[in-house]
Structure 1
């Protein structure tokens, strides 16, 4: 009975759109969105609105409801007052009012410590940190087992074509390699996430650690994009390399997480070497020591007046941290322990 009444009320609203005398007959077939914008019809409220939004072809009505004030729900009207939906002004573009954020909710406004407006949407003030520059850069995991040696020589074999392709263009080299370096953490975090769901168990913090690693590597890329501009064939190379590397690492992690983490550990050792050479080129004057990008100042909390050399220093420290985390993860698997049984190391933040 209640359902039939609801349907009847909904049909009456539809009749208002199509047959109301307030709407010219020639315009009755126009989209509901246009009629709402010009105030020729009234937006339905309550359960009727919910029912109408589920009808086929009601996308225009649904989009209006998300761009303007929310539809009133039955029982939420105040005494003697009905909630009203503000119609956009004539000639105004509704699309300009769309909210770009998670779930359509406006992001909270953040400010810096000095009170100035926070300009970055890719990371927030509480996600920034100061890199540990005192970390040991010379630490090396000596390969002992067969899988360790396989991982070590796999990485060494990949370094040769990279050196030939980029030579001493360390700015472009850093930017292009970061597009690949952000893949392992995301793949490992994804597979551990699915494993946690299958086994109904916690991950010991490893999921968040690996995802933070992927995000940190992506921020390296966002930073070096401000310093170097990739050429068209380098952009094309990213598509090919990322496609091959993602699938290869995905399969490798399924077969042997120990091997996969060891590969990343050795990749990070090579990254430390590359960034050390990058710093040498800056010190020799081969690469101009330009001012640090604004995004780097905020992300690593660098002081004003910092330069490209300071940015490379903190990025190299991040890579050393990734090296230690992945070698530690590989050691845990080698000893026969699940990652969930050993807590993840402290992150960068």
Structure 2
């Protein structure tokens, strides 16, 4: 190819690319200006190779980034170290970054399992002795089912209240999640609202889980207790799932009686704390923040607010069962949201 033809081809290619694509690449211009007739074939090959490289760079980098001068290795290393210092602990391509939360006193919020707006002061004035008297076959079936299930656990744990609580809370957090999940699916299938009951039941499940996270700070279950928890939770989840599908009002009544027994269990826990059988240690930090307790609170204070929570769950589930026993659906009565 003659020298004139080479220059014409190069000029046409430059016009097509324009200054935007080639303004940042000096090598491309140099290859054109230094072209000669003797190395025309290698020059054209290099020309197209550079062209492809430019297009690929523009598909991933902005023009401003391409305009930046090339730094030496020492400057690159220095720049990388500065970027690492400025980089957050957790970075995300999606731009999601955790907010820096603080408590009312200005100190940093230390929990990821719950946020400051999840905290509340428990209503300990609730009647912890209230009992729903069985009035029909369904109520009696639910009551005696719970009574039958409670005796093996009482015989196993006896006065080891913390270990008993760990088992109780891993089971108590199941009904709210199962009920909320099934109501959620029902709402999707029927294209209807739930009256707030999905959120109410999920709130219950989350509250029970926080009970567990609190008592984990007091004692850790032994290996055989973990095995028991694993087995009991697995059986209870599936049994409650099937029960709720068959009869939601029976499922809620069973939970109501389970919560009554939980209230009784925490009452016995408090008696042993008060008479010195169990040491009244300082309250875990997670409990102080979750229930907005005073910094000098003790385990007795924690058990008191947890018992109040269980009493509220008792009332909520008996109320849910009563609604359905009257021939109504849960969505027809507003759910007591925030009723811990």
Does structure 1 residue 109 correspond to structure 2 residue 92? no
Does structure 1 residue 162 correspond to structure 2 residue 153? yes
**Could you give the per-residue CA deviations for residues 159-212 of structure 1, whole angstroms, max 9, x where no partner exists?**
110111101000111122101100000000000000000011111110000000
Equivalent residues of 2:196, 2:337 under 8 A apart: no
CA RMSD across the alignment: 2.8
Helix, strand or coil at the partner of 1:121: coil
The change in CA–CA distance for 1:89 and 1:205 in structure 2 (over 3 A counts) is same
CA distance in 2, matches of 1:112, 1:207: 29
Match of 2:227 among 232, 236, 243: 236
The change in CA–CA distance for 1:230 and 1:322 in structure 2 (over 3 A counts) is same
Q: Which has the larger radius of gyration?
A: 2
Does structure 1 residue 314 correspond to structure 2 residue 305? yes
Aligned to 2:266: 275
Match of 1:150 among 141, 150, 158: 141
TM-score (norm 1): 0.74
**How many residues align structurally?**
276
Aligned to 2:278: 287
Does structure 1 residue 140 correspond to structure 2 residue 131? yes
The change in CA–CA distance for 1:149 and 1:200 in structure 2 (over 3 A counts) is same
CA distance in 2, matches of 1:127, 1:186: 18
Please state how far the C-alpha of 1:252 moved relative to its aligned partner.
Answer: 0.1
Superposed counterparts of 1:40-119, under 5 Å: 48=59, 81-82=64-65, 89=80, 99=90, 105-119=96-110
Please state how far the C-alpha of 1:229 moved relative to its aligned partner.
Answer: 1.5
Superposed counterparts of 1:193-272, under 5 Å: 193-272=184-263
CA distance in 1, matches of 2:335, 2:307: 21
Please state how far the C-alpha of 1:81 moved relative to its aligned partner.
Answer: 2.6
Higher relative contact order (CA 8 A, sep 6+): 2
The change in CA–CA distance for 1:208 and 1:83 in structure 2 (over 3 A counts) is farther
Equivalent residues of 1:131, 1:348 under 8 A apart: no
Equivalent residues of 1:99, 1:105 under 8 A apart: no
- In structure 2, stretches of 5+ residues that fail to align are 1-52, 69-75
TM-score (norm 2): 0.75
The structure that is helix-richer by fraction is 2
Helix, strand or coil at the partner of 2:159: coil
The change in CA–CA distance for 1:150 and 1:45 in structure 2 (over 3 A counts) is farther
Helix, strand or coil at the partner of 1:261: helix
Please state how far the C-alpha of 1:119 moved relative to its aligned partner.
Answer: 0.1
